Amino acid sequence: MDCHCDTCHHVTGSCVWSLQCHDGYTLDNGYCTPCKPGFYGQRCSRECHCDTCHHVNGSCVMSLQCHDGYRMENGFCTNKVSISPTERPECHCDRYYNALLAVSSVLGVVVAAEIVVIVVYSIRKHRQSAGGTRSIRESSSHTYDDLAQRSTNPGHYDCLQMSNIDQEGRS
């Protein structure tokens, strides 16, 4: 029986004075046993990404194909790859870029709205100034005052005495 811990009992092979096995082995009832299929490494804590991997280093010695999302590289299934064109490799900066995109979009909409308001205001102001000058010219030539009738009796006239007029003219 092989010893896969620091100190093994010389007859039984069980671990003595140690509760930790070498990489690729796990402690089971005092004995270090190889990792269960699909796991490898220290205390068998790492998961393989192929059907059968080496229990110590995780190499896919018995498999030629990796699980979905992984690729074969030098006998190991490593680096998650995109399954579909919409998936991207992990990036720890997604939050920053999403926030930057949101702020940029809002600012773009605000600037576009301001430009529209300025253009509409300029057009209206131009039309008012051009239309206002035209209406003043037209209205100035056609200004009339309404005259009120002074007397309801059409035969009523103010009369001047001729004698007063002759005297004023001679003096």
Band (31; pLDDT cuts 50, 70, 90) = confident
Q: Which residue has the tokens 């998650």?
A: 80
pLDDT tens for 109-139 read 999 999 999 999 999 988 888 765 554 445 4
What value does the mean pLDDT of the chain take?
74
**How far lies 171's CA from each of 15, 63, 160, 163, in Å?**
154, 142, 18, 13
Residue ranges of domains in the chain: 91-130
Structure tokens belonging to residue 93: 């900066």
pLDDT tens for 38-57 read 888 888 898 888 888 888 88
pLDDT of residue 117: 96
Report the pLDDT averaged over residues 65-74: 83
Q: Is the pTM of this model over 0.85?
A: no
- The answer to whether residues 15 and 30 touch, using CB atoms and an 8 Å cutoff, is yes
Q: Inform me whether the pLDDT recorded for 152 exceeds 60.
A: yes
Q: How many CB atoms are closer than 10 A to CB 67?
A: 15
Terminal C-alpha separation, the chain? 160
pLDDT of residue 81: 53
pLDDT of residue 171: 54
